[in-house]
Chain A
Amino acid sequence: MATTVEEHAAGGLQIHPMDQFVVKPLFGHGPIEWYTPTNVTLWMAIAVLCVVALMVLSTRRRAIVPSRGQSVAELFYGFIHKMVEDVAGHEGLKFFPYVMTVFLFIFMSNMLGLIPMSFSTTSHIAVTAVLAMMVFLTVTLVGFYRKGTGFLSMFWVSSAPLILRPILALIELISYFVRPLSHSIRLGGNLMAGHAVIKVFAGFAGAMGVASVVPIAAITAIYGLELLVAAVQAYVFTILTCVYLRDAVGEAHH
């Protein structure tokens, strides 16, 4: 262990881009049980506080002419409400609070993750996988509950020639079960990759002396890109949630 550190030090370059993702207990160094308060807990709690501040505190005056905070809250409300209605259909509006929860959590976590030294909870597959599995299970259960075995008709493409239908059914089935995987890894992977790249450039900046202007400029540029990624990935996750919900509540679109 000591020798490795010395070797790294001798090389002059000591970059640990993945250290930022380590889950640590907030107090002491004990093992991480399921209930242990960790940095995950801390940053999720901050995300909750941000959501409460934005959606509850800033709207407490219920002003007809909104304040800046209330405008933002209304903007999010209108944006997601319209998305759910347009994509999942009018029936999908029952899931509006759920979709809003998912969107605000991911958006806030992504943005909080961009604060230097913070911990981005949405860069963890454990988190995104749970979010995606919740969507997957909701869609499956609600679909069977509302449509019964008719839900299975979405795998049986009635507009295709009869010979192709079993093959298409197999492909549809596979794609259906791959959904939670792509849904979760798209978000987690994007976040993790961006943050790791920033960390790598930051490591260069620490080791290059005057020439570190170059990596610092690169970090600035990538940071702007990451802001975009943070918003876009929250949007993508949410709109895919709506698309999947349409399978459960909307008319068949195949």
Chain B
Amino acid sequence: MATETHGEAEAAAGMPQLDFATWPNQIFWLLVTLVVIYLVLSRIALPRIGAVLADRKSTITNDLAAAEELKQKAVTAEKAYQDALANARTEAAKIVAQAKTAIQKDLDVAIAKADVEISAKAAESEKTIAAIRDGAAAAVSEVARDVAAELVAVLGGGADATAVKAAVTARLKG
């Protein structure tokens, strides 16, 4: 026992790595360890991880393909939408143009009618105005003659009605 302790102490003082008495022990347990790890890895872990990685790769590939397909669909849908939009715009423009033409036609007819009415009314009015003016002028000369005759009479002149009339008419013209 004492010698063993001494031997251990000596080994500790030097390099335990070079204590060849422990080598068979270490090598034996190392081989056991390596065999166990190898069996665990090659039988269970590595095939499993390899399968998981392959699965993931195929899943990702499939998902990417599906995404590409959906993207294509989206592009098609957008194109259809744009087409529909363009069609609708053309249609709307056509309808607007039609409506404009119809309204213009109605408007033109109405304007023509109104013009005719307006000119008729204007002619009538002018006639009336002319009649009134003539009437007024006649009245003015009548009044002037009467007033002149009266003035002459009042001032004491026994003037002849015809002479007064002629004088007033001459004055009015002058």
Contacts and interface: CB of A to CB of B under 8 A. Distances in A.
A130 B17 contact: no
* SS of A interface (majority): helix
Contacts of B33: 44-45, 47-48, 105
B9 interface: yes
B18 interface: yes
Interface residues of B, number: 46
B11 A36 contact: no
Contact of A55 (B4, B40, B59): B40
A16 interface: yes
A23 B26 contact: yes
Interface string B106-147: 000000000000000000000000000000000000000000
A34 interface: yes
Interface string A161-195: 00000000000000000000000000010001000
B6 interface: yes
A35 interface: yes
A74 B6 contact: no
B70 to A, nearest CB: 20
Given A34-B25, A73-B45, A48 B36 contact: yes
Contact of B16 (A1, A22, A74): A22
A210 interface: no
A165 to B, nearest CB: 38
B51 interface: yes
A253 interface: no
A21 B45 CA distance: 32
A101 B32 CA distance: 12
B35 to A, nearest CB: 9
A123 B34 CA distance: 16
B65 interface: no
A34 B20 CA distance: 11
B44 interface: yes
Contacts of B1: 29
21 contacts: A16-B12, A18-B16, A19-B12, A21-B15, A22-B11, A23-B22, A32-B21, A33-B25, A40-B22, A44-B29, A44-B30, A51-B40, A55-B40, A62-B51, A63-B52, A77-B46, A77-B50, A100-B41, A105-B34, A125-B18, A126-B17
Given A102-B34, A192-B15, 17 more contacts: A21-B16, A32-B21, A32-B22, A32-B25, A38-B25, A38-B29, A44-B29, A44-B32, A52-B40, A55-B44, A77-B53, A100-B41, A101-B37, A101-B41, A125-B17, A127-B26, A127-B30
